[in-house]
Structure 1
Amino acid sequence: MSFAISSNDVRIEERDGHTYLIASSRDEDGNYNHTELNLDECLGNNEGSFNWSGEGFTGSAENIHLSIEGPEQLPILRAHLRDSEGNTHDRDVNLSERIVNDNGCLVFQ
C-alpha cells in the first residue's frame, strides 16, 4: 500500500539544494505526525534516469514535481533529468516502490 494512503498533505519542497518529501503521516495510534524525508539521500540520477541506489538527483534535475495518481494514490515524482552530455529526459518514479510510512515516519527501505 502506498504511504500516500496513510498520509495527508503529501508534497515535495526544494530547499538548500535538496528535494524533501513532506507529509503528515498516521501512526499506529491514529495520530498524524509531521514527517520529512530528504529524497536526495535515496534517489540519484544515472545518465538521465532515476536511480534508487544513488543520491543527489536534485543537482541535475529541472521541473521537479509530485502528483498523486489513480485510485491507488500512487505518489509519482516527475522531473527533467540531465545526462552527462547535458541532454534532458522526462522521467518519473513511483515513490511508494521504496518509501513507506513506518508508524508515522516516512522511511526509505
Structure 2
Amino acid sequence: MSFHSSSSDIHITHENGSTMLVCQVRDTHGKMNPRRIRLDDHIGNTDGWFIWGGVNFTQSAENIALEHTDRGPKLTAELHKRDGGFRERQGLFLADKISNQDGHLKFTGP
C-alpha cells in the first residue's frame, strides 16, 4: 500500500546527523500509528544524485526539504558532487520505495 495515501502529518526531521521520515500511518484496522523511518539507511548520494539503496545522503546534502506533490512526498536537497561543487536541486519520490505494511513504514528495496 502506498504509504502517503494512508498516512497523515507527513514530514521530515533531522536527528543525530540523519534525516527521518515521520508520519501517522493507518493500519488494516483503521488505527493511526506514529511511525518513523531513517532515510539515511536507504538513500545515498552518488556524485550529486540521490540513489536508492545507498546510505547517509544527509552527510553530503544541504537545504533538505520535503515537498508535497500529487505523486506523493518528494525529498529534495542540494547534493555535493565529488569535485566539491553542487548539482542543481535534486528530488526523489519517497512513495516509489517506501510502503505502508499494516501500519508500518517499510523500504521495498533498491
Superposition TM-score tier, normalisation by shorter sequence:
over 0.9
> RMSD of the alignment, in Å?
1.0
- Counterpart residue number, 1:31: 31
Distance 2:6 2:68 in 1: 13
Is the Cα contact below 8 Å between 1:14 and 1:20 reproduced in 2? yes
Shift in Å, 1:2: 3.4
Shift in Å, 1:91: 0.3
| Corresponding residue pairs, total | 107
Which runs of at least 4 in structure 1 moved beyond 6 Å after TM superposition?
none
Corresponding position: 1:59 with 2:59: yes
Structure 1 residue runs of 5 or longer lacking an equivalent are none
Query: Helix, strand or coil for the counterpart of 2:54?
Result: coil
Distance 1:80 1:2 in 2: 26
Corresponding position: 1:77 with 2:52: no
Distance 2:36 2:97 in 1: 15
Distance 2:84 2:22 in 1: 29
Structure 2 residue runs of 5 or longer lacking an equivalent are none
TM-score (norm 1): 0.94
Shift in Å, 1:80: 0.2
TM-score (norm 2): 0.93
- Counterpart residue number, 2:91: 92
- The alignment-based identity, stated in percent, is 38
Is the Cα contact below 8 Å between 1:2 and 1:75 reproduced in 2? no
CA deviation profile, 1:43-87 (whole Å, cap 9, x unmatched): 0000000010210000000000001112x4x11000000011111
More strand, by proportion? 1
